[in-house]
């Protein structure tokens, strides 16, 4: 899935890019991309000065990347409303944390979905099970598998933060 971008420079035509900020495109995740690419757009911070345009342009590109990665943001995302993706889209792509890398194998897609839902639900098991449509015991079993694969302890805040940010970053 590529993005069609128009440069803010006068006379520059559209160009096709991948993941933005010089990064290659990554495979899309989730049901929003099951039927193929989805057009997304980003809106940067409004500016009054021409010198602020490059920063607003990069914000818009990053907001579009966030919208592509996170269906809950909608197809048009505004820089000011993308939350943690403001941080994640500006970080250099240093690769996936070694602890999380085994979890991101295609064979573990259901575990990724489970872990991300659990973290998005602030660790509330009953709410997570309801969101996923599974029994709580199934949730606990899957979370145990996540801990075994990653070596992370989901009872520890630092480990939860690492896993949550790594899963969100992997979507980009």
Q: Going from the N-terminus, what domains does the chain have, and what CATH number goes with each?
A: 3-88 (no CATH), 101-171 (1.10.10.2840)
Q: Return the minimum-mean-pLDDT range out of 11-20, 128-137, 161-170.
A: 11-20
In the chain, which residue ranges form alpha helices assigned H by DSSP? 53-69, 85-88, 109-120, 125-132, 136-150, 157-171
pLDDT confidence of residue 92: 78
Q: Is the pLDDT of residue 83 over 90?
A: no
Q: Return the minimum-mean-pLDDT range out of 9-13, 40-44, 126-130, 160-164.
A: 9-13
For the question of whether the overall pTM of this predicted structure is more than 0.85, the answer is: no
Give pLDDT tens digits for 102-156: 999 999 999 999 999 999 999 999 999 999 999 999 999 999 999 999 999 999 9
- Identify the H or E element spanning 77: strand 76-78
**Band of residue 36 on the pLDDT scale cut at 50, 70, 90:** low
pLDDT confidence of residue 171: 84
Cα(127)–Cα(5) distance, rounded to whole angstroms? 39
pLDDT confidence of residue 78: 93
Average pLDDT, the chain: 82
Give pLDDT tens digits for 54-79: 999 999 998 998 899 888 899 999 99
Q: Are 25 and 37 in contact (CB under 8 A)?
A: no
Q: Is the pLDDT of residue 2 over 70?
A: no
């Amino acid at each position: 899935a590529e993005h069609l971008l128009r440069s803010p420079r006068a006379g520059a035509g559209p160009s096709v890019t991948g993941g933005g900020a010089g990064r290659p495109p990554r495979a899309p995740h989730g049901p929003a991309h099951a039927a193929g690419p989805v057009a997304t757009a980003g809106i940067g911070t409004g500016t009054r000065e021409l010198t602020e345009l490059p920063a607003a342009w990069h914000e818009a590109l990053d907001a579009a990347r966030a919208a592509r990665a996170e269906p809950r943001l909608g197809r048009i995302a505004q820089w000011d409303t993308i939350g943690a993706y403001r941080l994640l889209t500006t970080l250099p792509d240093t690769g996936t944390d070694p602890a999380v890398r085994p979890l991101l194998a295609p064979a573990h897609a259901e575990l990724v979905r489970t872990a991300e839902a659990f973290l998005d639900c602030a660790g509330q098991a009953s709410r997570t099970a309801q969101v996923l449509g599974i029994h709580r015991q199934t949730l606990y079993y899957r979370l145990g598998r996540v801990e075994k694969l990653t070596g992370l302890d989901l009872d520890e805040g630092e480990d939860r933060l690492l896993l949550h940010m790594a899963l969100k970053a992997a979507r980009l």
